[in-house]
Amino acid sequence: MPNFGFSIHSPTHIDLDKNYRTIFNYVKVKEPSIQKCIFCGSCSATCTASNYSAMSLRKVNLLLHRGMVQEVRSLTEQCLLCGKCYLVCPRNVNTRRIILLIHEALKMPLS
Amino acid sequence: MPRIAVIGGGVAGMEVAFRLSQLSFEVDIIEKSFILGGHVHKWQKLFPDFTPAHQIVDQLKNQLRDKVNILFGNEVIKAEQENTKHILYLSDGTTQVYDAIVITTGFKLFNANRKEEYGYSVYPNVITSSELEEYFQNDKPIITKENRIVERIAFIHCVGSRDEKVGNRHCSKVCCITAVKQAIEVAQRNPDAEIYLFYMDLRMFDRKFEDLYLQAQTEYGIKFVRGRLSEVSEKADSRLFLKLEDTLLGKPLRLTVDLVVLMVGMETAENSIQLANALGIPVGQDNFMLPVNCHSQKNITGNRGIFVAGCASGPKSIGETLADARSAALEVYSYLNCN
């Protein structure tokens, strides 16, 4: 393709008609508490990694709900697994286990 | 014996009338239609515990039996006041004299046509919450107008509420929990359906509401997305394409669904404003009637001997309406015994 000197951005919107929620469903079966999240953000506020990176468990959880795998991958790599988020969660979501399950799912061939 | 007029035969009016008859007053219910129960009469099950709505209406009807005079098919045309007596001219041509009046004219549902961008009455698969309730008369799966089983459904919160452009700044209070209740009822009928609720805030203000919300998330996998719908368009296969923003992720969101349910809010009833003018009662910016104050005198209007109960003075749940009605009955009792 000839170079016309400009590029086109790929769409950034969330397309729920195309996204697959494979990882969400994988985590949900093993750790149903993921469904209880009310996206309050207390996990992100207390997160050790969030001081130095874009890591936010609230965001990871939302992205999983919306089936946006690529973004989940880059964020969860930053997690230190300290578990502070689990301590502050008002809904008692097992956040640390969710991160471990995401890591597990991301290694699987489907994702 | 003092005579009291209760204007409106919904659940508020029925409860006020019954309580006043218990206090040995002579009570007339003035009802414009030919049935009792108002909006509740058209509902199947009630939040938060799925009580059948007809149970509430039937119970109120049984309590009223033979104790209260019901003037069906009647409206107040004109009102006059002479000392402590209130004279009402009714549409059947009669003139009645009362010692006290209780206004229980309730609300009307927001007309969804006014939110043009949502495509109500343009696209057949955009329906209102009140129309969805009709599907719940039986346990069959929810289908589209083309008889396809609904696989994906979107509930849109705050249609005609919290919307200054349509003149309604107020919150209608009960639609949040109604959407959760209806989403669960859809999930029970269409277990494989993906169910989305698009909200601005979830106002789970009363007892058991948070529990129902949690149940919707965990037992039924219902998906809650914060964001207000901007527009609906129809695809060639008559499915509906929605555009909104996921305001928690800060990204625009697109999806296709089979059915859109608009959670229509409450507005003041059709003729409440004329009635308020005729009886000299102020209305608020939201057009609902204003009592003297909203804490300790919420059933007392500025006009002596005229009281208000239920949704005529703003959106309320059924439990709140019935409690408000009982409190109004007691206010009438105190007023008549001090005169």
ipTM of the complex: 0.89
% of chain B residues with pLDDT over 90: 99
Q: What is the mean pLDDT of chain A?
A: 91
Model confidence pLDDT, tens digit, residues B232-271: 999 999 999 999 999 999 999 999 999 999 999 999 998 8
Chain B closest CA to A16's CA: distance in Å? 5
Question: Which residues are within 8 A (CB) of B5 and not within 5 positions of it... i.e. 6 or more apart?
Answer: B27, B28, B30, B86, B88, B96, B98, B100, B101, B102
* Total number of domains constituting chain B: 2
Give me the helices (H) in chain A, please. 22-30, 42-46, 57-65, 69-76, 84-88, 95-106
- Is the pLDDT score of A17 beyond 80? yes
Residue with tokens 């008889």: B147
Last residue of a domain, one of B250, B266, B282: B266
Model confidence pLDDT, tens digit, residues B274-295: 999 999 999 999 999 999 999 9
Phi, psi of B81 (to 5 degrees): -130, 135
Q: What is the mean pLDDT of chain B?
A: 96
Inter-chain contact A16–B221, Cβ cutoff 8 Å? no
Q: How many CB atoms lie within 10 A of CB B53?
A: 19
User: B240: nearest CA in chain A?
Assistant: A17
Tokens of A85: 């988020």
Inter-chain contact A36–B251, Cβ cutoff 8 Å? no
Of the candidates B164, B246, B163, B239, the residue with the CA atom closest to the CA atom of residue B198 = B246
- B11-22 and B318-338 helices, crossing angle to 10°: 40
What's the pLDDT score for residue B339?
Answer: 63
- Is the pLDDT score of B24 beyond 90? yes
Last residue of a domain, one of B245, B266, B287: B266
C-beta of residue B149 within 8 angstroms of C-beta of residue B191: no
Q: Are residues B19 and B100 in the same domain?
A: yes
Contacts of A16 in chain B (CB under 8 A): 253-256
- Is the pLDDT score of A83 beyond 80? yes
Query: How many CB pairs below 8 A link A and B?
Result: 41
Domain ranges of chain A: 22-106
What's the pLDDT score for residue A19?
Answer: 85
Q: Are residues B148 and B161 in the same domain?
A: yes
Tokens of B65: 């039996």
Instruction: Name the residue facing B253 among A13, A36, A39 (closest C-beta).
Output: A13
Q: Are residues B127 and B259 in the same domain?
A: yes
What's the pLDDT score for residue A110?
Answer: 61
What's the pLDDT score for residue B264?
Answer: 98
What's the pLDDT score for residue B209?
Answer: 98
C-beta of residue B25 within 8 angstroms of C-beta of residue B69: no
Residue A70's pLDDT band (cuts 50, 70, 90): confident
Instruction: Name the residue facing B246 among A28, A58, A66 (closest C-beta).
Output: A66
Query: What value does the CA radius of gyration of chain A take, rounded to a whole number of Å?
Result: 16
Q: Are residues B261 and B287 in the same domain?
A: no
Chain B interface residues (partner A, CB cutoff 8 A): 214, 217-218, 221, 223, 226, 246, 248-249, 251-256
Instruction: Please compute the mean of the pLDDT values over residues B109-136 and round it to a whole number.
Output: 97
Residue A20's pLDDT band (cuts 50, 70, 90): confident
Tokens of B332: 């009438």
- The CATH number assigned to the domain holding B235 equals 3.50.50.60
Residue-level length of chain B: 339
Q: Is B137 exposed, middle or buried (0-12, 13-18, 19+ CB in 10 A)?
A: exposed
Cross-sheet strand order for the sheet of B231-234 = A14-15, B251-257, B240-246, B231-234
Last residue of a domain, one of B241, B266, B291: B266
What's the pLDDT score for residue B71?
Answer: 97
Task: For the full predicted model, state whether its pTM sits above 0.80.
Answer: yes
Contacts of B218 in chain A (CB under 8 A): 32, 35-36
What's the pLDDT score for residue B42?
Answer: 94
Q: Are residues B92 and B141 in the same domain?
A: no
Instruction: Name the residue facing B217 among A16, A35, A66 (closest C-beta).
Output: A35
Instruction: Name the residue facing A15 among B217, B223, B254 (closest C-beta).
Output: B254
Of the candidates A45, A94, A89, A54, the residue with the CA atom closest to the CA atom of residue A75 = A54
What's the pLDDT score for residue A56?
Answer: 93
Q: Alpha-carbon distance B301 to B279, whole Å?
A: 10
- Beta bridge partners, B268, equal B107
What's the pLDDT score for residue B202?
Answer: 96
Q: Which of B209, B255, B257 to substitute to test the interface with A, most A CBs within 10 Å?
A: B255
* Domain carrying residue B168: 112-266
What's the pLDDT score for residue A10?
Answer: 81
Q: Of chain A residues 3-32, which have a CB less than 8 A from chain B?
A: 12-17, 28, 32
Q: Are residues B54 and B176 in the same domain?
A: no
What's the pLDDT score for residue A7?
Answer: 85
Give the Å distances, CA to CA, from B275 to A52, B2, B265, B288.
Answer: 63, 22, 22, 11
Contacts of A62 in chain B (CB under 8 A): 246, 248-249
How many helices (DSSP H) and strands (DSSP E) are in chain A? 6, 1
- Is the pLDDT score of B14 beyond 60? yes
C-beta of residue B325 within 8 angstroms of C-beta of residue B56: no
Amino acid (1-letter code) at residue B13: G
Residue with tokens 């996921």: B246
What's the pLDDT score for residue B18?
Answer: 98
What's the pLDDT score for residue A8?
Answer: 83
Model confidence pLDDT, tens digit, residues B131-141: 999 999 999 99
Q: Are residues B25 and B152 in the same domain?
A: no
- Is the pLDDT score of A74 beyond 60? yes
Question: Which residues are within 8 A (CB) of A55 and not within 5 positions of it... i.e. 6 or more apart?
Answer: A44, A47, A49, A75, A76, A78, A79
Q: Are residues B87 and B123 in the same domain?
A: no
